[in-house]
Amino acid sequence: MRVLVVEDEPLLAAAIAEWLRDEAHAVDVAGDGGAALERLSVNAYDVLVLDRDIPVVHGDEVCRQLVASGSATRVLMLTAAAAVTDRVEGLGLGADDYLTKPFAFAELGARVLALGRRSRPADPPVLRRAGVTLDPARHEVFRDGRYVPLSKKEFAVLVELLRADGATVSAEQLLEKAWDEHVDPFTGAVRLTILKLRRKLGEPGLVETVTGVGYRIP
């Protein structure tokens, strides 16, 4: 999934981003509300991890503007305020979930995954197609019962191909979901990742190239 982390404490922001990237998400980071709104206007994020007390534009206003825009992005609001009234207020602004600091990174990751499922048509807990079984929560992939070790990017690309349910996914769509904003749009990263994924999944080949369109698992 594509995730935007908005946190003005650099060390915490870096730690959250690293944890989510380890779970095969593409993560961008913003240090204030103005930068967050700029990125939200350009990129389609599945989940926004939003610290409530941020400079330039307050987190409450970021949440209000995002909800008013009709975006499908789900909002996980972070705050040091643990009172029930604060949680109720945050959810009333349109946030989908609320997590108080300090928090366990494992819980944050689980909440991001759950919100990501709600940002699109519901996925089954385990994705299956053409003999491939992928468990997003456990980060495990099997083909015909054989465990397939994948890198983070290979895993993220396979998730998108399985979610497409036989439809073709363009290289641009894969870049949007599996890589962050720093990727070169003219890079060969998608082609190389698909090549490695094919090798690891083994024979007979599963991932088809649709010339001029993209890739699919029929």
Sheet containing 140-143, strands listed edge to edge, beginning at the edge strand earlier in sequence: 127-129, 132-135, 140-143, 146-147
Domain borders along the chain are 2-117, 127-216
Q: Which two tokens stand for residue 23?
A: 């779970």
> Does the 127-216 domain belong in CATH 1.10.486.10?
no
Can you tell me the distance from the alpha carbon of 152 to that of 24, in angstroms, rounded to the nearest whole number? 5
> Does the 2-117 domain belong in CATH 3.40.50.720?
no
Whose structure tokens read 């945050």?
90
- Predicted model pTM: 0.67
Can you tell me the distance from the alpha carbon of 175 to that of 184, in angstroms, rounded to the nearest whole number? 9
Q: What are phi and psi of 181, to 5 degrees?
A: -70, -10
CA-to-CA separations, 120 to 105, 162, 182, 193, in angstroms, rounded: 24, 14, 24, 24
CA-to-CA separations, 88 to 53, 59, 128, in angstroms, rounded: 16, 15, 38
pLDDT tens track, the chain, 218 positions? 899 999 999 999 999 999 999 888 999 999 999 999 999 998 889 999 999 999 999 999 999 999 889 898 999 999 886 666 666 676 777 889 999 989 999 999 999 988 987 766 555 678 999 999 999 878 899 999 999 999 989 999 999 999 999 999 999 889 888 887 777 766 788 999 999 999 999 999 999 999 989 999 99
